[in-house]
């Protein structure tokens, strides 16, 4: 709490940092509830890192505000004192944005986890930033709706963090990224001013849509405190299938065919490359849906509204592709048990990867037409920089998004090789995980000097004292060659 902490800090030798922290707590004294401030060794280990391997610094102060007014108070005082802040949701990020750096105080939205009643007429829900994705999914489900995004970290990751990173996941093909779910936000700017846009209107061209600026900005432009999100009608039919195919090219043909045949009912299209499928089969006791030995595997899901006919149409579309030789083998789910067994293979792919040490994970996306060329070039380049490296690939082919994983002891060299191939094929070095601290070194590979300059302009306009997640995504001082205008 404010008072006692002030004295503890003041009793120590007075560095500039501790003086500033003391002043910070003094100014906030009486403006926050008693559970909103944790200091020194009371700040738990969990707050020192995100889901990357690297640990951060233990923040001297952790703020756990209970409401938007408290967030506003914290930010306005930090801004006045040039106190940098690391913003934390569920800390499941894989890019280091929520990992505290020296001199930063932490701001966790974990206590702001309410979910307001579903608006059934509009098909919308307002969640507070600290609510988990799973809690929102469950509230939607109970009210006869579906939430459009699903990711592995659903039980821990929060709405605020999901929005800050524009999370994607397995059903982007059907429902879009997080950006497509957000109808409006409440966000606190660095100076403490609160922007509230929670009307939930699907058409609103009354001035700039400021919400868009905060989505995917990784906590560098403002702190999301609430979000009004779109819900979808709950599907009345659900089926999936697991296919073996001769090649990536065949998977791309299958994707295009199924988009045409199933339209928006095609809700997921995942690929698993042979080396990952081999690892998956070693980890699962269940009999494999299709035998190993193919050139590519695909997991396909359909969600529809025609309970009577959808599953047959889904199976018929796949059988047609089998007869044409696009797929070499296919297992279609015929029960909810089958359905879950097939999705379990996808989860087993993630678990297989996490079971290995020294795996460098690259979350890239590519134009589908350039994907094979990227794979050929990256594989050759990586073999050159680390002949001992082995490559494991799976991902969301429907979105051009591959999780490209390399077991290597030479992270930087392999990253340089991978990202330079991504860039030369017109891809993205981060499809869904964001840039954070981990990838910022490579950002100028895929963003032009003019884009880097525009991003800095935006950051300066919204956070002139650079207090919010400073050094994430990019540094304010240009570092790459050609970036100085």
SS3 36: coil
Interaction of residue 288 with its own copies, rule CB under 8 A: no
Q: Where are the beta strands (DSSP E) in 315-358?
A: 329-332
Binder among 91, 171, 226, 439 for its own copies (CB under 8 A)? 439
Site stretch for its own copies (CB under 8 A), options 6-14, 44-52, 108-116, 229-237 = 229-237
Alpha-carbon torsion angle 66, 67, 69, 70, nearest 10: 20
180 interacts with its own copies by CB under 8 A: yes
Which of residues 365, 408, 418, 469 is near its own copies by CB under 8 A?
365
Among 19, 380, 454, 476, which residue interacts with its own copies (rule: CB under 8 A)? 454
Closest CA to 68 of 218, 224, 229: 224
Between CA 189 and CA 202 the distance in angstroms is 24
Where are any strands of DSSP class E within 82-157?
85-88, 105-108, 124-128, 145-146
Interface stretch with its own copies, choices 20-28, 175-183, 268-276, 325-333 (CB under 8 A): 175-183
Site for its own copies in 291-330 (CB under 8 A): 304-306, 309, 313
Q: Are strands 61-63 and 37-39 parallel, antiparallel or unpaired?
A: antiparallel
Nearest-angstrom CA–CA distance, 453 and 484: 9
194: CB partners within 8 A, 6+ apart: 68, 72, 186, 187, 188, 225
Query: Is the CB of residue 359 less than 8 Å from the CB of residue 347?
Result: no
Q: By C-beta, is 4 or 204 nearer to its own copies?
A: 204
Applying the rule CB under 8 A, the residues between 67 and 106 that interact with its own copies are none
Q: 11-70: which residues touch its own copies (CB under 8 A)?
A: none
217 contacts its own copies (rule: CB under 8 A): yes
C-alpha to C-alpha distance for 148 and 124, rounded to whole angstroms: 12
Q: Is 457 in the site for its own copies (CB under 8 A)?
A: yes
286: DSSP letter: S
Between 128 and 167, how does the x/- string for binding to its own copies read (CB under 8 A)?
A: ----------------x--------------------xx-
Could you list the beta-strand ranges (E) of 307-377: 329-332, 359-365
Residue 233 binds its own copies (CB under 8 A): yes
Q: Which one of residues 38, 131, 153, 172 is an interface residue with its own copies (CB under 8 A)?
A: 172
Nearer to its own copies, 107 or 317 (CB): 317
Q: Is 412 in the site for its own copies (CB under 8 A)?
A: no
- d(CA 363, CA 418) in angstroms, rounded, equals 10
Q: Does 460 bind its own copies (CB under 8 A)?
A: yes
Nearer to its own copies, 84 or 427 (CB): 427
Cα–Cα nearest to 156, from 89, 229, 85: 89
260 binding its own copies? (CB under 8 A):
yes
Sign of the C-alpha dihedral, residues 125, 234, 342, 362?
negative
Q: Which of 4, 15, 17, 196 binds its own copies (CB under 8 A)?
A: 196
Nearest approach in angstroms of CB 25 to its own copies is 26
Stretch near its own copies under the rule CB under 8 A, chosen from 4-12, 17-25, 327-335, 398-406? 398-406
Q: With binding defined as CB under 8 A, does residue 432 bind its own copies?
A: yes
- Report the alpha-carbon distance of residue 251 to residue 400 in Å, rounded: 12
Q: Residue 361 CB, nearest distance to its own copies (Å)?
A: 14
């Amino acid at each position: 709490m404010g008072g006692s902490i002030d004295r503890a800090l003041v009793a120590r030798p007075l560095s500039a940092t501790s003086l500033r922290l003391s002043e910070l707590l003094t100014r906030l004294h009486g403006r926050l509830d008693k559970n909103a401030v944790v200091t020194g060794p009371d700040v738990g280990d969990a707050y020192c890192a995100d889901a990357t391997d690297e640990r951060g610094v233990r923040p001297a102060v952790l703020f756990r505000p209970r409401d938007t007014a408290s967030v506003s108070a914290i930010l306005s005082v930090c801004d006045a004192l040039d106190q940098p802040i690391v913003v934390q949701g569920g800390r499941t990020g894989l890019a280091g944005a929520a990992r505290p750096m020296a001199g930063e105080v932490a701001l966790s939205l974990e206590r702001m986890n309410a979910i307001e009643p579903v608006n059934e007429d509009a098909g919308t829900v307002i969640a507070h930033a600290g609510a988990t994705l799973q809690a929102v999914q469950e509230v939607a489900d109970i009210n006869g709706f579906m939430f459009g995004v699903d990711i592995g970290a659903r039980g821990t990751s929060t709405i605020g963090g999901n929005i800050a990173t524009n999370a994607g996941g397995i059903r982007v093909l059907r429902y879009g990224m997080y950006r497509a779910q957000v109808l409006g936000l409440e966000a606190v700017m660095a100076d403490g001013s609160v922007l509230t846009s929670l009307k939930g209107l699907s058409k609103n061209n009354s001035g700039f849509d400021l919400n868009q600026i905060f989505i995917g900005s990784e906590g560098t432009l403002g702190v999301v405190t609430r979000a009004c999100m779109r819900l979808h009608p709950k599907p009345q039919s659900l089926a999936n299938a697991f296919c073996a195919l001769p090649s990536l090219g065949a998977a791309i043909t299958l994707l295009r065919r199924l988009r045409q045949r199933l339209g928006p009912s095609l809700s997921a299209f995942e690929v698993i490359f042979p080396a990952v499928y081999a690892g998956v089969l070693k980890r699962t006791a269940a009999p494999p849906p299709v035998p190993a030995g193919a050139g590519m595997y695909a997991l396909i899901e359909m969600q529809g509204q025609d309970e009577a006919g959808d599953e047959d149409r889904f199976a018929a579309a796949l059988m047609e592709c089998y007869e044409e030789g696009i797929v070499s083998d296919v297992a279609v789910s015929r029960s909810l048990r089958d359905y879950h067994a097939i999705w379990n293979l996808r989860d087993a792919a993630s678990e297989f990867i996490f079971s290995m040490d020294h795996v460098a994970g690259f979350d890239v996306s590519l134009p589908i037409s350039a994907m094979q060329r990227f794979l050929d070039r990256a594989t050759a380049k990586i073999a050159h920089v680390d002949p001992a490296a082995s490559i494991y690939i799976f991902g969301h082919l429907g979105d051009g998004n591959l999780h490209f994983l390399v077991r290597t002891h030479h992270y930087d060299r392999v990253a340089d090789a991978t990202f330079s191939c991504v860039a030369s094929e017109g891809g993205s070095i981060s499809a869904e995980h964001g840039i954070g601290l981990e990838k910022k070194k490579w950002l100028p590979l895929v963003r032009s000097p003019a884009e880097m300059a525009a991003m800095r302009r935006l950051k300066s306009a919204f956070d002139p004292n650079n207090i919010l997640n400073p050094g994430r995504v990019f540094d304010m001082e240009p570092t790459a060659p050609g970036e100085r205008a």
